[in-house]
Structure 1
């Protein structure tokens, strides 16, 4: 009798496991999703799903719907595919420019609340229609979503653009001493290109830092272990003087000074070391005096461009460098809460003081 009871219990357990069964070919593992604002102000959602069936000609399935929310879009997706959709493999979310100008707060909140969406998902902005970029097929790349993901990972590793995750964007959005940033990309005829860095005021896009200035932004924002930058130092006898500074590392310091009239002054210092891989000027780098002269010229160029970038950020009311965090740490809780940082920030005197040291300069005769 006991044996019979045990067999019956085992049969119930085995039958119960069937409801949790997931067959790989029946799963739709969303890897990249894009969000745009449609012409009628609804949310247009596009999702790219890799096709694992070896007999399929297509390498991915694209689903496109218009809805009033992300969750409603997912319900509509389910009605358009035989696959069981899951978000555990989501790698990147792309937001179109029109949507970022309207504000991302509600959509970020939805993604953050979803337990199936990892906090390490990358956040990227598309200069244009994000769905159109994700839907396009590029001959040299089998999957556009993976192509974009690998491109952002590679450039982020070189510090030319920031690698921003869902957690980091949401953290900075909810912090009263810094505004969020994200890489911005653009569709071209046969490639996706890095456009630069999108800067936000709270959850709304305000301005873009060009990709060519990404390293200068990185020097202003924090310390670096690796990077490279090309600088135009002007002309010498009608010829452009270009220097390529590589293997770049820096130590970042920021000091907040408060004057008697309660105005703030901020000094950003950066001690920068690197290698000169290319130089087209007339200085002879094997001579110590000439190297020191080049160090001064590079420092002056970085200072000029860095201070101009700071002014531009202040004019657009975006604290992408997190100056407010340093000011907040220099004040008491009561003083900070009584300070309207959004109004104070544009008038804060901020100075960038870089000091460059050339570690080596290759082989020169």
Structure 2
């Protein structure tokens, strides 16, 4: 009987513990999207979007807003604004306003990564302007702006016009002394949210934007490319714009570092591109091999010129978003690299781009 009493007590304690740990779904406020903005008083404005799961509710989301010195402090304020238990385990998207991004987001990325309930694959996005205002706005027919932005960026990143940056990827590049982090940019376009380009960082500070129309060129020179689409402007022909629309773009990048005298460097960036022509506004026939070779040369020159222009801008902004520093680092000993002030050397290096374009097919064009 004594043993039975002990077992009964243990079971009772276990059941009591389970009761305390259980979480009823209807009682949880599962944050899916959060925005962060820096206010004039240096406070952090945090807006979090919590979906409403009650089918009888006329609204599909609840917005929680707080001004605090930290992300954790904002979460404490959220708990006083709702009858739900606010949790971050379902967080999918983080939006950072321009002012905060320019001041630096490294500490906030670190705070999010330290939260064991937040996944490493949470997306990082920069908002042109106030991120909280964008998240708070409703864009019909989308009932949840956070999900709308997430799906928009997932679709665009498949074509490599913008990168799909996660907390893990941002932190990895931020802590690597041979490359700088990047993130997609979105903006309020009235009745829609528009993808606006790529944010380039120097350490954790947003310092430069690449327009979305140049995103595919940036992608070709940042890494190997498996899938992409691009429209290449080739000037004019008989007074009309001459363009070529490519799909199924695939690119292979090679980087070669040359050590010159007096501690200088020269870097050759070579990209081999293959793709299918979906549209061509020229008057010549693509069925002619000579015409195709001429078009390949024109496209190669156009991509090369644009890439070298972007690299000059990146050197002026001192952001090594292409990761050239990784290859320079690999060409040096550890002592040589650590004694080199790469941030000051990088703007002075000579970078030469080489592009080879191959038209795989041209559809039904004659």
TM-score normalised over the length of structure 2: 0.98
Residue equivalent to 1:24: 25
How much has 1:16 moved relative to structure 2? 1.4
For residue 4 of structure 1, what is the aligned residue in structure 2? 5
Distance 1:337 1:116 in 2: 36
- Structure 2 residue 265 is matched with structure 1 residue 264: yes
2:221 is matched with 220
- Corresponding position of 1:253: 254
Q: What is the number of equivalent residue pairs in this alignment?
A: 365
- Supply the distance in 1 between the matched residues of 2:40 and 2:56 (Cα, whole angstroms): 38
Partner deviation per Cα, 1:125-172 (whole Å, 9 max, x = no partner): 000000000000111101111000101111111111101000111111
1:100 is aligned to 101
SS of 2:292's equivalent in the other structure is: helix
Aligned residue number for residue 60 of structure 1: 61
Structure 1 residue 111: Cα displacement: 1.0
1:259-285 residue CA offsets vs partner (Å, 9 max, x unmatched)? 132210000101110001100112210
What is the match of residue 291 of structure 1? Answer: 292
**What's the offset of the Cα at 1:12?**
1.9
Q: How many Å separate the matches in 1 of 2:88 and 2:12?
A: 32
Partner residue of 1:357?
Answer: 358
What's the TM-score, normalizing by structure 1?
0.98
**For 1:250-308, what per-residue CA distance to the aligned partner results, in whole angstroms no more than 9, with x for missing partners?**
11100001013221000010111000110011221000111111000000111111111
- C-alpha deviation, 1:364, in angstroms: 2.5
Displacement, 1:8? 2.7
Summarize the alignment of residues 334-349 of structure 1 with structure 2, pairs less than 5 Å apart.
334-349=335-350
Matched, 1:192 2:193: yes
Deviation at 1:86, TM superposition (A): 0.9
Other-structure match for 1:49: 50
Give the drift of 1:10: 1.5
CA-atom RMSD in angstroms: 0.9
Cα distance in 2 for partners of 1:52, 1:148 equals 20
Q: Does 2:136 correspond to 1:131?
A: no
Unaligned runs of 5+ in 2: none
CA distance in 2 between counterparts of 1:259 and 1:199 reads 28
Tell me how far 1:115 sits from its aligned partner. Answer: 1.0
Q: What is the rounded CA distance, in whole Å, between the counterparts of 1:364 and 1:65 in structure 2?
A: 58
Matches within 5 A, 1:78-117: 78-117=79-118
Counterpart of 2:34 in structure 1 is 33
Question: Who is 1:313 aligned against?
Answer: 314
Distance 1:321 1:5 in 2: 66
Tell me which residue corresponds to 2:275: 274
The runs of 4+ residues in structure 1 deviating greater than 2 Å are 2-9
Deviation of 1:108 after TM superposition, in Å, equals: 1.5
Matches within 5 A, 1:201-212: 201-212=202-213
Q: Distance in 2 between matches of 1:342 and 1:12?
A: 60
